[in-house]
Amino acid sequence: MTEKQSLPDLHDLHILILDDDPAIQRSLARALRGLGAEVKTVGSLREAELILDSWPVDILLADLKLKQGTGLDLLPRFQKKFPDGLFYLITGHGSVDSAVKALKHGVRDYLQKPVDPIALARRLQRDAAARAPSRLESVLDPYLIFRDPVMAEALADLPRFAALDEPVLIQGETGTGKELVAMAVHRISPRSSGPFVAVNCGAIPESMLESELFGHERGAFTGASSLHRGRFEQASGGTLFLDEIGEMPLQFQVRLLRVLEERAIQRIGGEQPIPVDVRIVAATHRDLHEDVQAGLFRQDLFYRLDVLQIRLPPLRERRQDILLLASHFLERTLNESGQERQVPVFTPEAEALLLAYPWPGNIRELRNSMTRLAVRLQPDMREISADFLRAAHPSLSKPTDCSGNDIVCIPAQATMAEAEQLLIDAALKRTDFNRRAAARQLGIGERTLRRKLNNK
């Protein structure tokens, strides 16, 4: 694919740029117009308000620091006028506090100057595709809670997948919500009136796996005092969720493959095959491609399951959802415990602490942390401080482990150029030095990455 062919398409998007620097106005407007967008530029809040009253704005790019006020001053008016619009802050004066405030109040993202126009355009195209008209959040609510466009992109195909009757393979780290996604697939599918049956393939002893999945006849073996219908029969007419499918013993995988192909099971001790009508959704935290290469997972079963695939991002890659989920879990725990009280809010320092932590246990760790926090709350508490948060979750105060492939630690004394180089090096290592993939992870164009590497 050529560089020109890979450029984003911003046709049908109306973009307003608010910046009191004419040079920045011109450079961004020229790039975005070249990709098909309708663009207007203004240099003051008053001019921007006039545009909002007379022009349909899909996306607003606002400078944080203006001569008379701040770009955030325009956010309430924009949200009221265009509730489905996307608001971005662009600034050369980044700080944790302003970033937290921006994310908390509904800003889509917080971008620091200089902004690469092509990387920005890719982000705008992705975010615009994840919002209306599909309104993915409303379709999946209340099964899944998210706002971050990274999660929206991961789930963009879920409604279409649910409408089909083919297997779905959900991949993601432990604690990213794979079972919730499986339940969402079932509940918005034509099989929603049927049962949803979940089984953890890694939690069942190998000796019991056949009976658990396929069932057994009375007297089939010692202790089989009655007929037992297995999970396949229990799920007939609905969805069978095979969690941690990568943990299934290799010798049993051929049995499962035969059942999936023949759509019939045979109970232990039974003589006749029993037809089963189930839709399979499988999940794993493992890389099944690598397991197939290592001989740990059957290739034919992998291709039978890998028809429709959903990859869930870890929580550290969807940081806009951290505060949203923390408040949700805290409120839910208080409600479940019967406490009729106002839900305390996090102080800016506590919010910064939540956003900075990498959450290796993902959503499950965050939920457990909020449960412990709720137990410690005093009746008269209206705010949750950083110190109180650390007491409930001591790991928040520990130094970040820089040994993991998914974590980049930047020394406090590092220059911007040095920090940028650390991020580039980490992206290249994660992608096996594939420049196109690394550039995509970094949110910049491939040519920009090439230029930065040449300037090392």
Share of the chain above pLDDT 90, in %: 43
Q: CA 202, 208, 213, 215: dihedral to nearest 10 degrees? A: -170
Q: Are 65 and 24 in contact (CB under 8 A)?
A: no
Name the more confident of 222 and 443. Answer: 222
Q: How does strand 196-200 pair with strand 239-243? A: parallel
Q: How does strand 69-70 pair with strand 86-91? A: unpaired
- CATH architecture of the domain 14-130 equals 3-Layer(aba) Sandwich (3.40)
* 336, burial (CB in 10 Å: exposed 0-12, middle 13-18, buried 19+): exposed
- Across 145-225, where does the E strand assignment appear? 168-171, 196-200, 215-216
Domain boundaries along the sequence of the chain: 14-130, 149-311, 316-397, 416-454
The average pLDDT across 124-131 equals 78
Confidence grade of residue 61 (pLDDT, cut at 50, 70, 90): very high
Q: Are 200 and 243 in contact (CB under 8 A)?
A: yes
Confidence grade of residue 6 (pLDDT, cut at 50, 70, 90): low
Distances (CA, A) of 236 to 84, 245, 374: 40, 19, 40
How many Å apart are CA 298 and CA 295, to the nearest integer? 7
Query: With 60 as the cut, is the pLDDT of residue 412 above it?
Result: no
How many Å apart are CA 245 and CA 304, to the nearest integer? 13
Q: Are 288 and 306 in contact (CB under 8 A)?
A: yes
State the average pLDDT for the chain: 84
Q: Are 185 and 239 in contact (CB under 8 A)?
A: yes
Helix axis angle for 348-356 and 96-104, nearest 10°, is: 90
Name the more confident of 171 and 449. Answer: 171
The set of residues, in sequence order, having a beta carbon less than 8 Å from that of 156 and lying 6+ positions away, is 129, 130, 134, 136
The average pLDDT across 375-380 equals 88
The set of residues, in sequence order, having a beta carbon less than 8 Å from that of 289 and lying 6+ positions away, is 302
- CATH architecture of the domain 149-311 equals 3-Layer(aba) Sandwich (3.40)
DSSP letters of 341-362?
SPPPEEPHHHHHHHHHS--TTH
Domain 416-454, CATH among 3.30.1380, 1.10.10, 3.40.1800, 3.40.1130: 1.10.10
Classified as helix, coil or strand, 60 is strand
Which range among 19-33, 244-258, 420-434 shows the weakest confidence by mean pLDDT? 420-434
Which range among 98-102, 167-171, 234-238, 447-451 shows the weakest confidence by mean pLDDT? 98-102
* DSSP-assigned letter for residue 134: S
Q: pLDDT tens for residues 293-327?
A: 999 999 999 999 999 999 999 998 888 899 989 99
Query: With 80 as the cut, is the pLDDT of residue 408 above it?
Result: no
Query: With 60 as the cut, is the pLDDT of residue 94 above it?
Result: no
What does the pLDDT read at residue 163? 85
Confidence grade of residue 133 (pLDDT, cut at 50, 70, 90): very low
Alpha helix stretches (DSSP H) within 306-385 = 322-336, 348-356, 362-376
What does the pLDDT read at residue 1? 38
Q: What is the pTM of this model?
A: 0.61
The set of residues, in sequence order, having a beta carbon less than 8 Å from that of 394 and lying 6+ positions away, is none
- Across 26-144, where does the E strand assignment appear? 38-42, 59-63, 65-66, 69-70, 86-91, 109-112
* Rg of the chain (C-alpha set): 26
The average pLDDT across 62-79 equals 88
CATH 1.10.10.10 fits 316-397, yes or no: no
Q: Do the domains spanning 14-130 and 149-311 agree at the CATH topology level?
A: yes
Q: Which of 33-42, 102-111, 416-425 holds the top average pLDDT?
A: 33-42
